[in-house]
Structure 1
């Protein structure tokens, strides 16, 4: 009896595995993302807790697949102002390849910079994209966007 219950628990635990992966096919469609920025400083040899920078950035992004490549069309706004290149040109997207959750370390101008970029599927209609940067200049910043599918 114990084995049956144990087997049932293992099957239940494994049933959700693999469903949290963001794929090209998952991203196809229109999304609205709300971005929050955070910063932290070094104090007494430790980083302080993140503090919200008060950014109010919203992006709308659409993804499509052509010839097995992911393309995106993006529009960004901060409050009521348009940011960056909001042309109607589809650009090849490498978000899945760059946002792996791995720590990448670079040394530039005698400074070490670590970055972690990740994608996390929360549901069929929501994912989180985050980027965190830590430098030897005793600062770290983080940007996190919650993206919701537009129906």
Structure 2
């Protein structure tokens, strides 16, 4: 057997590069499907105090809302909001400079309680589910107030 020619090496290297570039894309798709199989997943951007907007998805899981970055490989949530520590303070349309960073049609939700200073942006139907989730709770749990 002889040494492979230049074209064979080039094709092999290009093929490996394409496979290496596609692995993260397939992982992101598989991750989203995995998340959706374990609870309702919806688009939800997050703004931490002192930081900019980050695109993400969230899912309700028992007494928690788990938030994941869209372009992350981790299966663990980046932030977890606990139901009894989270309240909706105010809902508003995005400001003009925010609108460019968010999904179309999303509204901004200002959180209170232990999560004061955090902002979530989501579609109106998801806001309805989120508001209901924050106001509801297990029997005997702390009472929640509604947003203003």
- TM-score when scaled to structure 2? 0.30
More strand, by proportion: 1
Q: Which has the larger radius of gyration?
A: 2
The alignment's TM-score, normalised by the length of structure 1, stands at: 0.30
Q: Structure 1 or 2: larger helix share?
A: 2
